[in-house]
Amino acid sequence: MSSESSTVLSPPGRFAGGVHPPEHKELARHAAIEVLPPPAELALPLLMHTGAPCQPVVQPRAEVVYGALLADSDAFVSAPIHAPAAGVVQREGVATLPNARHVKTIPLKVGPHQMAAEELMADMFGGEWPEDGIADVAPEEIVKAVRAAGIVGQGGAAFPTHVKLARNPKKPVDTILVNGCECEPYLTADYRVMVEAPAPVISGARLAARAAGAATIIIAVEDNKPEAIEALRAAAAGDVKIMSVPTRYPMGGEKQTVRVATGRTIPTGGLPLDVGVVVINVETAAAIARAVWRKKPLTHRVVTVTGGGIAQPKNILAPIGCRYADLVAFCGGLKPEAGRAIAGGPMMGFALGDFNAPVTKGTSGLTVLTAEDVRRAAETPCVRCGRCVEACPLDLMPTRLALAARHKDWNLAKRHHLMACMECGCCAYVCPAAIPLVQLIRMGKVQMMKEVGK
Amino acid sequence: MAENAVTPIAPAAPPPAAASARAAPAKPAPALSVAPGPHIASGALTTRRMMLDVILAALPLLAVSVYLFRQYAVFQIAISVIGALAAERFFGWMRRRPNTLGDLSAAVTGLILGLSLPASAPWYVGVIGAFAGIGFGKAVFGGLGQNIFNPAMVGRAFVMIAFPAALGASAYVAPTLGVDAVTQATPLTAFKMMGSVAALKPLFLGMTNGSIGETSALAALIGGAYLCWRGTAAWRIPAGGILALAILAGASDLTGGSPWTFAHHLSSGAFLFGAFFIATDPVSSPLTPKGQWIFGAGFGALVLLIRAFSGYPEGVMFSVLLMNSVAPLINRWTIPTPVGGPAPERK
């Protein structure tokens, strides 16, 4: 252990509840990141982030180069979109995202001359990442570069990162928390990034801290990823604290990670910012480093294609806008026992109706489960065993919430704090009566908002 | 099983013939289902498995009961279980419901009822108790999960009122059966009536008279430990009950109260059987951790009050039923505050 290396810290906090689903990370954890050859056409959704949709800034039939700006917005909470490959812009299209949202897209016919795979990998993750000189970069410059690169949270929520990093005198930030928990079963994309490219992750974390004015940098990784912890530790100096947190779903949920890594509790309905923390995903951190040091926009991301229904599970560096079908084909197709395809992981991911949806900036993976994996017992009456109450990481009473949602009893729902639910799904995972608890709660939240909330 | 068949590819594995793979997206495409997440479920515990756990946990009690009461134990349990299954089917048929015998909840009701009867009870007591328990205790509320009271205790309360002679203290003394255990009054009755204090060791091991499943504190502890370890029983309920009874009885011991010490209270009668097997019925007990403590403590305190101050030697059945009636209220009092505080009112 060299003297300048970081040591691995134990977390100061904990959260109650949670579950331990079988991890199945072994399927893809050893698969080094491979570059997806650019498919013939990409479709870039104009809204793949939280906030205002973008407007195209290019006309159909325009020829664009790799990294060219395709769409932007004047709104503060938005993120521009860039070309992941050189090609010709097509007429505006429409795509259905896995969350069932219909969005306009800019289709891009990919040209014949593309960057070689090795070159792209080197550009994304390779080479030197400056350790010094961060103090010379003005915080506003970092925020501006992050905004210009179209960086959003790559952990799933896709919230524009520059909004989180911009300093707000009313809400000072003292901690940048890089989330490398990857608590969803099966997924290994973040793990591969941490193992293969710890340097840009650490550099990006430092830049984020500089931008937000945070003195403390913590990278939290679940203890089922010792190789990632070691890689980060070896690459980090003392200013970046590597923290090994217990492996328990939903450790990677923002509320849980912040509580465990800092001991602070985010108020219900609030943000990490309310307790002086900014949380960014490991790949987002790498994207920040790339945007600042190499002036490159967010055009590619690592996605895990895995599950018992996929012929060859892989971690793929994929251009934003490629279709799920391209990923499946690159992984040797589906196995006959495939039973459900999920955008994301099996706990919080969305089932896909077909493979035509495009990969977005927030896509972490494609999990294809077998029919056996997704077989569920028939629902039986609730016997009030309280398993869901024990499993809920937020101390809610899921069975009461589901009852309230089923009967549209919004007083009961309010009394049991329906709107505090973060929909992690632990309750439905453990329910001995196979009641779709979180599914009912999710529906109840939407209906209650419609009927009583304004 | 299927996922184990896949070998993780080595980092150096050559990319598969990507072109050919892309040319044929799917030959006979597997049928993919769509549903809202989570897409996996633990499956470690099902309602049926919970009921099976109770039956497994009752094995030590069954062993002691058969040892003590011979064929009478087998007979009482058999008619209670058969009665409960028949009642479940009968009321299910009346309510035009599919067969629910498979969830084993009726079998558990019958088992608990049978274990709570005296060896000498006539055959119709078990049958009527089972029908009353399943019918008035469960079916009228809407079946499994809807009932307020523990069905086995409703059934037992019913036959206790209907057949006082068959379930009263005197019914436990039946020398004519030819079984040693039932030649003397139960320890609690003997104390209540004559002030004679039983020795602790036979009380704890269960070599005494009583309802067929209640006599052995040790057997109840073994089965109860299994139930709590499995998570089938909420451990806070027996813990709260034992604590409350021990503290209250212990306080009375310290003030020089009664020769029937807290250790006698804990190991006598149906207390531990009730604390682990009856009060923990999930349907009729609170959901919240705090509520389970309150429920357990209330149960333990009521048992002591009834034993000490009522005309009955034992109070487990009444305590369970009384606490059942306040379980919904306890649930309501003990709604936990979410992590991060209550959801803010939206404007």
> How many CB pairs below 8 Å do chains A and B form together?
252
Min distance A307 CA to chain B CA atoms (Å): 7
For range B160-184, the mean pLDDT: 84
Please tell me if residue A448 touches chain B, with a CB cutoff of 8 Å: no
Retrieve residue A147's tokens. 């905004």
Q: Please answer yes or no on whether B32 and A270 come within 8 Å at the CB atom.
A: no
| pLDDT of res. B7 | 35
pLDDT value, residue B202 = 86
Predicted confidence at residue B187, as pLDDT, reads: 87
In sequence order, the β-bridge partners of residue A367 are A306, A342
Burial of A264 (0-12, 13-18, 19+ CB in 10 A): middle
Spell out which residues of chain A touch residue B37, defining contact as CB-CB under 8 Å.
342, 346-351, 425, 438-439
- Give A12→chain B minimum CA distance, Å: 17
When computed from its CA atoms, the radius of gyration of chain B, rounded to whole angstroms, is 25
How far apart are alpha carbons B115 and B78 in whole angstroms? 10
Among B32, B234, B339, the residue with its CB nearest the CB of A265 is: B339
Query: Are A377 and B46 spatial neighbours (Cβ–Cβ below 8 Å)?
Result: yes
Is B50 within 8 Å of A432 when comparing Cβ atoms?
yes
Q: For residue B38, is the peptide bond before it cis, meaning its omega torsion is within 30 degrees of 0?
A: yes
Asked if residue A319 lies in contact with residue A38, where contact means CB atoms within 8 angstroms, the answer is: yes
- Answer whether residue B221 shows pLDDT above 90: yes
What contacts 24+ positions apart, CB below 8 Å, involve B195-200? B195/B259, B197/B259, B197/B260, B197/B264, B198/B264, B198/B268, B200/B263, B200/B264, B200/B267
A263 interfacial to chain B (CB closer than 8 Å): no
What three-state secondary structure class fits A105? Answer: strand
How far is the C-alpha of A430 from the C-alpha of A314, rounded, in Å? 29
- Helix (H, G, I), strand (E, B), or coil: what is residue A160? strand
Q: Which residues of chain A lie closer than 8 angstroms to B331, CB-CB?
A: 400
pLDDT tens, residue by residue, B105-119: 999 999 999 999 999
CB atoms within 10 A of CB A237: 13
Residue B10: list chain A partners with CB under 8 A. 30
Which of B326, B318, B224, B334 is CA-nearest to residue B285? B326
Closest residue of B to A351, CA-based?
Answer: B34
Q: Cβ of A79 under 8 Å from any chain B Cβ? A: no
Inter-chain touch B145–A418, beta carbons under 8 Å: no
Give the DSSP H/E element, type plus range, for residue A67: none
Cis peptide before A250 (omega within 30 of 0): yes
Q: Could you report the average pLDDT of every consecutive run of 10 residues in chain A (454 residues)?
A: 66 92 95 95 95 95 96 95 96 93 95 91 91 89 96 91 94 96 96 96 96 95 96 90 95 95 94 95 96 96 96 96 96 94 95 94 96 90 93 96 95 94 95 95 93 70
**Cβ separation of A428 and B22 shorter than 8 Å?**
no
Contact status, residue A192 vs residue A285, Cβ threshold 8 Å: no
- Interface check for A19 against chain B (CB to CB < 8 A): the answer is yes
| pLDDT, average across residues B324-336 | 95
B30·A336 Cβ contact <8 A: yes
Strand partners, A343: A350, A366
Residue A4 exposed, middle or buried by CB count within 10 Å (0-12, 13-18, 19+): exposed
> From the CA of B47, how many Å to the nearest CA of chain A?
5
Nearest-CB residue to B38 (from A269, A387, A438): A438
B15 CB neighbours in chain A (<8 A) are: 34, 330
Distance CA A354, CA A98 (A): 9
Residue pointed to by tokens 């209270």: B265
B195 versus A159: which is more confidently predicted? Answer: A159
What distance in Å separates residue A366's CA from the closest CA in chain B? 13
Which residues of chain A from 152 to 181 reach within 8 Å of chain B, CB to CB?
none
Chain B contact present for A429, CB below 8 A: yes
Of A26, A340, A430, the CB nearest to B39: A340
Residue B13, pLDDT score: 37
- Chain B residues whose beta carbon lies within 8 Å of the beta carbon of residue A37: 18
Going by pLDDT thresholds of 50, 70 and 90, the confidence category of residue B346 is low
Q: CATH code for A8-23+118-293?
A: 3.40.50.11540
B103: left (phi over 0), alpha (psi -120 to 50) or beta: alpha
Please give the structure tokens belonging to residue B267: 């190991």
To test the contact with chain B by mutation, choose from A387, A411, A416 the residue with the greatest count of B C-beta atoms within 10 A, namely A387
Inter-chain residue contact B103 with A370, CB threshold 8 Å: no
Angstroms from A238 CA to nearest CA on chain B: 31
* A272: Cβ contacts below 8 Å, ≥ 6 apart: A177, A254, A258, A266, A278, A279
Comparing CB atoms, the residue among B21, B29, B31 nearest residue A329 is: B21
With an 8 Å Cβ cutoff, is A434 touching chain B?
yes
Give chain B's domains with CATH numbers: 47-333 (1.10.3430)
The CA angle A263-A179-B13, to the nearest 5 degrees, is: 145
Q: What is the mean pLDDT of chain B?
A: 87
Decide: A222 and A251 in contact? Cβ < 8 Å. Answer: yes
| Paired tokens of B299 | 């149960």
- Chain A nearest-CA residue for B98: A380
Cβ distance of A31 and B43 shorter than 8 Å: no
Residue B169, pLDDT score = 81
d(CA B40, CA B256): 59
Domain ranges of chain A: 8-23+118-293, 387-451
A445 touches chain B (CB under 8 A): no
Q: Using CB atoms, which residue from B42, B44, B145 is nearest to A382?
A: B145
Residues of B in contact with A355 (CB under 8 A): 25
Looking only at the bridges linking them, the beta strands covering A81-82 and A69-72 are antiparallel
Spatial CA neighbour of A222 closest among A206, A243, A241: A243
The DSSP string of B10-75 is PTTPPPP-HHHHHH-S-SSPPPPP--PSP-----S--HHHHHHHHHHHTHHHHHHHHHHHTHHHHH
